[in-house]
Amino acid sequence: MDYVLVILADASQLRRLGLISLLNRMKYPFHIREITTPDKLGILNPRDLVGLFIISSAFLRKCTPAAIQSLKLKLNSSIRILIRDEDDIPPDNLNFSEIIDPSDHDKSIIRKLDRHLSLFSLEKGSAESPEEISDREKDVLRLVAAGLTNKEIADKLFISTHTVITHRKNITKKLGIKTIAGLTMYALINRLIIPEEKN
């Protein structure tokens, strides 16, 4: 999976824009799809792996029970988040993992989302676009961060030292990080390695 598919089901453009700007402030490679009316929920393909499903209670109220039932099947492995209206008793027909209140400020919303996304990205792995490092480059990066030499990395990944060097050049070019210490810090911050793995 190259990105986290986010479905934003809400009729209010203002709220959608607000959420998108918050999501963009997070480091995840999101692919955001907006749904403005319940009838458009049908375009969701069961094969789409929805990572994050965000819906407002106003929107949810407009959905028919059948629509909710079919949504449940499509959101099998998604994180489901409800944006609650003021004084709203949250409906629990979608097993929400998190509820965002109208009074939440930006930091607490990001924290709520991050709580789930951090687990998610560990399981699913994250970005891969021309600008992002590829899975193979990540393998090399992990070993570089673990302190292995080019030769050791080559042996471990069954590739030539020359290929390792090419990967390292590309990693440095893409990330803008030149030193091993810097690459290690990047790998730790992005949870490519866990601190124990370092030694």
Partner 1 sequence: MQIISKMKMAEVIHLNYHLLPIISRFGIHLGFGEKTIEQLCNEYAIDVNFFLVILNSYHDKKFFPRKHLQGFPLKLIIEYLLKSHEYYLEIKIPRIEQLLRQLSVQTEGLGEESLRLIDQFFGEYRQELSSHIEREEEKVYPYVFTVEEAFESKKPTRDLVNLIREYSIDDYESEHDNVEDKLYDLQNIIIKYLPLPLDMNLCHTILMELFRLESDLKDHARIEDKVLVPKVRYMEKWINDHFIS
**Could you list the residues that contact partner 1 (CB under 8 A)?**
25-27, 106-107, 110-111, 114, 175-179, 181-183, 185-186, 188-190
Query: Which lies closer to partner 1 via its Cβ, residue 39 or residue 181?
Result: 181
CB of 63 to partner 1, least distance (A): 32
CB of 78 to partner 1, least distance (A): 22
Neighbouring residues of 118: CB distance < 8 A, sequence distance ≥ 6 = 191
The residue type at 144: V
Query: Which lies closer to partner 1 via its Cβ, residue 48 or residue 128?
Result: 128
Query: Which lies closer to partner 1 via its Cβ, residue 43 or residue 189?
Result: 189
CB of 84 to partner 1, least distance (A): 21
CB of 115 to partner 1, least distance (A): 9
CB of 6 to partner 1, least distance (A): 17
CB-count burial class (<10 Å; 0-12, 13-18, 19+) for 32: middle
Q: How many helices (H) and strands (E) does the chain have?
A: 8, 5
- How far is Cα 123 from Cα 120, in angstroms, rounded to an integer? 5
Answer yes or no: are the C-beta atoms of 63 and 96 closer than 8 Å: no
Query: Which lies closer to partner 1 via its Cβ, residue 161 or residue 172?
Result: 172
Angle at 186 between CA 184 and CA 188, to 5 degrees: 70
Query: Which lies closer to partner 1 via its Cβ, residue 62 or residue 191?
Result: 191
